[in-house]
Structure 1
Amino acid sequence: MSASEPGLSGRPDRRWLFTFCLAWAGTATALFGPIQILLPNQLEHLAPGDKERALAWVLGAGALLSMIVNPVVGALSDRTVSRSGPRVPWIAGGSLLGLAGLVVLGFARDVVQVAVLWCAVQAALNASWSALSALVPDRIPDRRRGAVAGYVGLSQVVGIAFAALLATVFPGVSGYLACAASLAVLILPLLFAEQRLTRGLGAARRGSDLRTFVAGFWIDPRRFPDFFWAWSTRFLINLSNALALTYTLYFLRDKLHVADAEEGVLLLGGVNLAAIVLSVVLAGYASDRLGRRKVFVIASSLVMAAASAVIAARPSWPVVVACAFVLGIGFGIYTAVDFALITQVLPASDSRAQNMGTLNIANSLPQVLAPAIAAPIVTAGSGYQMLYALSGLVAVGGAILVGRITSVR
């Protein structure tokens, strides 16, 4: 289905792209404000003697649920009939439920309550995330996806940095409320833009019985090997990133003894953002111009691996700041080009959201595994150094696997 096929959408313009980027920034703010600062601080208060395991359990449970929600909502979105198109109901509904969950989450008074509410927030926002992801292959032709993915990646990072700022300036309950308010403000322009594009077009989608619906979640690696290798590459790079970032606040506070760890996270986020701004859009445009994706993914993975290795070898505040910049360069390149690459290996044009949801498991599963892997490592004598070394090795594995893709250069 082309980007302008009747029944799905009109042709997007720069105004639409701007609102699309705002929506990504808002969703990232709502997700990463809690992950970076709010949840670690809340759990440290509720379980001071076992904060690492409590955080691992809460984040892992939320990520496990999101791993299920992503492809299921994607499949439902592909089959949704709505005057607003197949994606808007899920973007709007998921954002509204996620916003409500964030408002309540700040008032949780024990670890179990935090876990239940965070699972609800993760499920809701990942429903929205799944539908948002499908809009790129829905609307953007292959030749422009690198540049668009660059803007999307930049928007996510701006949202993550903004989330750190909000969580630092507004601690505790007020931080959750600030993230919820930001989501509401930033998601609305896209909903109005989608209404404008789909007005009068209808949104008929294919139907299916339950057996066909369930069978659609399995994508045979023998028939679609490039999809499998793209999934595996994304999984490893996201696992590497999650291993490096999950315990950043505790790393600064307990290992490096930074006086104000929250401000340290904010500073690192700013340094990382500056680097990504330099790399993400340029990498997307360069990838489109050259018609090549894999070489950029390989290079970015190796850059990220090198930064993690340096932190493992010389864990100090100046080194971490410098490596945050290097990680930003690598992750900016990766974010732009990987998204474009992945949209080119989707097996079926009429199941884009379902396929993107399956690919997004490669984002969610590392969030389940990383805390479980990291928690026992960081409690060991040289735990954080070992953790960053492992992060670097996993990134190298991603660089190797992307070379197996054959249908994309």
Structure 2
Amino acid sequence: MTTDTLGRTNGTPPPDGPDTGGPAVKNPRPRLVVGMAAGQLGLFLALLTPILVSLQLKVQSVVPESDQVTALGIITTTGSVAAMLANPFFGRLSDRTTSRFGRRRPWLVLGMVGLLAGLMIIATADGVAVMTLGFVLASASANAALAAFVATVADNVPEARRGRISGLLGIMQNLAPTAGTWIARYFSDQILLLFLVPSVVGIVLVLGYVLVLPDQPLTEKPAREGFKAVLHTYWVSPKEHPDFAWAFLSRFLLTLANWMFTTFRLIYLQHEMRLTAAEATETLATGVLIYGLCVMGSAQAAGWLSDRLGRRKPFIAVAAVLFGAGMLVLSGSDTIALFYCAEIVLGLGFGTYLGVDLALVIDVLPDPENPSKDLGIFNIAMSAPQIFAPALGALLISVGGGHNYSILLIAASLVCLGGALAILPVRKVR
């Protein structure tokens, strides 16, 4: 028998207790776990509903049909740039915040309020420029809250429980778009409520988490930093931290593949299945429900099994292959039934990924004592693909002068395969 780099016997899960890779943390209390799950649900309900449904319907109500794909690409790409820059920046601020309310609470609250303001700007906009401005504010604010939220997991969950908590949070992350699309069924013709209802529910859930969060204030004020240190916020040396770099690349590729299709999911149903906006919204709601149920089951199972086996990498690789296979099924779908079958495969793949992704990331953090900044950098791997995916997706769809979704989906499946291969060189985590 051998031991890994954390001193554990291979095949044996680590004992509950202090995390050897960072600050000592005890098993979280049940109310904290419930609050954490509710906070994840609320954050992503408010963030993902506009991306999946509300924004697309808003664009269709303002922009001529011939320009809708381009307008959607401009809005989401610009917002994704803001998200990419905001996450590590606010993560660093969170690590250094000296508020008497703690390091994380202020940014959770301020981020959700800013997200609501941005969504209200979009809902009342009458042009692409104003919608873009609103989406920039919403994306930056949401990522301020997200950077603080993810850091609370590193702060409060020991290594031996991270797989299970990662799986639970994966369930909540995917329950959010399911809930959001079903909300959209009732407000598809009331744009203001379509943006307002999910965001208000999200704020309430995040505030509930804030109330139970054990967030200790810093005991000493951090030293002042210059402009060079601020720029360092956006950099972790791949040479010094190769495991972090490979994990970053794997998430980048898998997220890219996901958003290449998700951005155009509703329009895909309208074009390929020849559905009206109302029919496509209802079909999407059912498909996302099926997808979400598969994600919830596979995420919890993968997280639990990952903790039991003390392994993360095989689950990431299997997840990427499954997700790529789901894209291939979609590329050949010409009926709603096949669309639902593809959602099952995609859900199983993405759920398996979410079940272990966060646990693996925290295990390879360069500085476990100040996790928010590095987690913010890592979240660039989730936000940066949203910059490229809409433009790349629109380009692939337009190949041949039509709506060529098959090329888009085949390309996405190949990107998934690359994500599976990228996780193999990671050494610190098995």
Q: Does 1:42 align with 2:53?
A: no
Gaps of 5+ in 1: none
Partner of residue 205, structure 2 = 186
Identity %: 30
CA distance in 1, matches of 2:221, 2:210: 20
Query: Which letter does structure 1 place at the counterpart of 2:42?
Result: G
Partner of residue 393, structure 2 = 374
Partner of residue 95, structure 1 = 112
Q: What secondary structure sits across from 2:428 in the alignment? A: coil
CA distance in 2, matches of 1:170, 1:100: 19
Q: Does 1:123 align with 2:140?
A: yes
C-alpha distance after superposition, 1:112-148 (max 9, x if no partner)? 1111011101111110001101111111111110000
CA contact (8 A) 1:99 1:183 kept: no
CA contact (8 A) 2:19 2:159 kept: no
Partner of residue 330, structure 2 = 311
CA distance in 1, matches of 2:52, 2:195: 12
CA distance in 1, matches of 2:163, 2:28: 16
2:377 aligned residue (342, 348, 358): 358
Give 1:108 deviation, angstroms: 0.7
Query: Which letter does structure 1 place at the counterpart of 2:139?
Result: Q
CA contact (8 A) 1:33 1:160 kept: yes
Partner of residue 39, structure 2 = 23
Give 1:219 deviation, angstroms: 1.0
CA contact (8 A) 2:104 2:215 kept: no
CA contact (8 A) 1:253 1:261 kept: yes
Using the TM superposition, name which of 305-314 and 388-397 deviates more.
305-314
CA distance in 1, matches of 2:105, 2:220: 14
Q: What secondary structure sits across from 2:124 in the alignment? A: coil
Give 1:85 deviation, angstroms: 1.6
CA distance in 2, matches of 1:268, 1:77: 37
Partner of residue 388, structure 1 = 409
Partner of residue 354, structure 2 = 335
CA distance in 2, matches of 1:115, 1:212: 30
Q: What secondary structure sits across from 1:350 in the alignment? A: coil
Q: What secondary structure sits across from 2:364 in the alignment? A: coil
Give 1:351 deviation, angstroms: 2.6
CA contact (8 A) 2:25 2:157 kept: no
Partner of residue 288, structure 2 = 269
Q: Does 1:228 align with 2:249?
A: no
C-alpha distance after superposition, 1:259-296 (max 9, x if no partner)? 40111110111000111122111110000000000000
Query: Which letter does structure 2 place at the counterpart of 1:78?
Result: D
C-alpha distance after superposition, 1:246-269 (max 9, x if no partner)? 101000011111340111110111
CA distance in 2, matches of 1:366, 1:275: 24
Using the TM superposition, name which of 108-117 and 182-191 deviates more.
182-191
CA distance in 2, matches of 1:60, 1:198: 34
Using the TM superposition, name which of 359-368 and 79-88 deviates more.
79-88
Q: Assess, with a 3 A threshold, how the Cα gap between structure 1 residues 223 and 186 changes in structure 2: closer, same or farther.
A: same
Give 1:213 deviation, angstroms: 3.7
Q: Assess, with a 3 A threshold, how the Cα gap between structure 1 residues 128 and 3 changes in structure 2: closer, same or farther.
A: farther
Give 1:104 deviation, angstroms: 3.2
Give 1:165 deviation, angstroms: 1.4
2:258 aligned residue (231, 241, 245): 241
CA contact (8 A) 1:346 1:355 kept: yes
C-alpha distance after superposition, 1:197-238 (max 9, x if no partner)? 347x65546434123343243211111000000000000000
Partner of residue 312, structure 2 = 293
C-alpha distance after superposition, 1:33-56 (max 9, x if no partner)? 111111111111211220000000
CA contact (8 A) 1:62 1:122 kept: yes
Using the TM superposition, name which of 56-65 and 81-90 deviates more.
81-90
Query: Which letter does structure 2 place at the counterpart of 1:43?
Result: V
2:177 aligned residue (152, 157, 160): 160
CA distance in 2, matches of 1:88, 1:60: 29
CA distance in 1, matches of 2:353, 2:212: 28
TM-score relative to the length of structure 1: 0.95
CA contact (8 A) 2:27 2:158 kept: no
Using the TM superposition, name which of 357-366 and 253-262 deviates more.
253-262
Q: Number of paired residues?
A: 406
CA distance in 1, matches of 2:127, 2:403: 30
CA contact (8 A) 2:43 2:203 kept: no
Using the TM superposition, name which of 75-84 and 283-292 deviates more.
75-84
CA distance in 2, matches of 1:179, 1:16: 23
CA distance in 1, matches of 2:426, 2:60: 43
CA distance in 2, matches of 1:10, 1:80: 23
Q: Assess, with a 3 A threshold, how the Cα gap between structure 1 residues 125 and 96 changes in structure 2: closer, same or farther.
A: same
Using the TM superposition, name which of 173-182 and 101-110 deviates more.
101-110
CA contact (8 A) 1:238 1:362 kept: yes
Q: Does 1:113 align with 2:130?
A: yes
Partner of residue 164, structure 2 = 147
CA contact (8 A) 1:78 1:205 kept: no
CA contact (8 A) 2:121 2:130 kept: no
CA contact (8 A) 2:118 2:136 kept: no
Give 1:318 deviation, angstroms: 1.5
Partner of residue 82, structure 1 = 99
Partner of residue 398, structure 1 = 419
CA distance in 1, matches of 2:157, 2:96: 20
Partner of residue 4, structure 2 = none
Query: Which letter does structure 2 place at the counterpart of 1:82?
Result: S
Q: What secondary structure sits across from 2:429 in the alignment? A: coil
Q: Assess, with a 3 A threshold, how the Cα gap between structure 1 residues 62 and 161 changes in structure 2: closer, same or farther.
A: same
